[in-house]
Amino acid sequence: MFLPYLNNWLLFAITFGLMLLVSFIMMRQSRNFYTFYVTKRKFSIMELEIPATYAGLIRIIKGLFLLPEPESKRSIGALRGQLWLDFLFMPFAYGSIFLLCWRVSVKFQSAFGSNVFLVLAVLQVIPWICDIIENLYLLGKIKQGSNIDDSKDAIEKKANLHKAYLVMEAIKWGTALTATVCALSAICYFWLTGGYSATSLKYAVITLAEIAAFGFLAIRFGSTKEV
C-alpha cells in the first residue's frame, strides 16, 4: 500500500528538506562547541565521530568540563542537544538516501541494475544503526564527564575498542556515501538520456532551491560565535 508513495519525488523533496532544516539547527548548536586543552579551542562534531585516537576523543570530552562554568554548561548542553537531535536527523538523512536509491531502481530495465539499487536502498539501515550506536557511545562518555579515566593504562586498554569504533564509522560513512554517489550518478545519466519526464524537473528545482536556502541560512546565521 505504501510502495506507490516511494515512487513520488515529492516525498523525497519533503524528506530532504526536513533533513536540511534539522542540519541547520544542529549547525547553530555547533557554534557553542568549545573545549579546553592547554587553551580554549573550538572543535567540530567530526572530531568526535572520527577521532584519530582514543586519547584525542577523551581530551575533547574532558576539556568540556575544564572550561569556566557558564561556558562549560553551554558547550556541554549544545553537544548533548545535538547528539539527541541527531536521532531526528537520522531518519530524514538515511530516508532521503533510501528514496534516491529506490527511485533509481525502478528506472532500470534490467533486473541486475534494479536489484543493485534496491540493495543499496535497504543497506541504509546499517549506517542508521551505526549512527545510533555512535551517539549512545558519545552520550555515555559525556555522562562520565571529568571522571573518564585518561591514564596511559586505560587508554591502552581501550585501543581495540577505539579501532572497532573507527571501523564502524568507516562502515557508516562508506555505505551512505557509496549509495548517494551511485544514485546521483544514475539520476544524472537518466536525465541526460531522457529517462525522466519534464514533470520530474520541478522536483529537481525544488531540491536545488532547498539547498540554496540552506546555504543562505548557513552563511547568514551559521557563522561561528565566540562564547
Q: What is the pLDDT of residues 4-39, one digit of tens each?
A: 556 678 899 999 999 999 999 999 999 999 999 889
Range of the domain at 178: 3-221
Instruction: Say how many CA atoms lie within 13 Å of 130 toward its Cβ.
Output: 21
- Residue 163 falls inside a structural domain: yes
- Residue 23 falls inside a structural domain: yes
- Residue 227 falls inside a structural domain: no
- Please give the pLDDT value at position 166: 94
- Residue 211 falls inside a structural domain: yes
Mean pLDDT confidence for 222-226: 56
- Residue 207 falls inside a structural domain: yes
- Residue 130 falls inside a structural domain: yes
Nine-digit cell string for 95: 530516508
- Residue 14 falls inside a structural domain: yes
Tens-digit pLDDT profile for residues 130-160 = 999 999 999 999 999 878 888 888 888 888 8
Mean pLDDT confidence for 177-206: 84
- Please give the pLDDT value at position 132: 97
Q: Tell me how far apart the alpha carbons of residues 146 and 53 are, in angstroms, rounded to a whole number.
A: 18
* φ, ψ at 148 (rounded to 5°): -60, 130
pLDDT greater at residue 148 or residue 166: 166
| Mean pLDDT rounded to a whole number for the chain | 89
- Residue 140 falls inside a structural domain: yes
- Please give the pLDDT value at position 102: 92
Number of domains in the chain: 1
Q: Give the residue among 177, 203, 158, 205 at the shortest CA–CA distance from 101.
A: 177
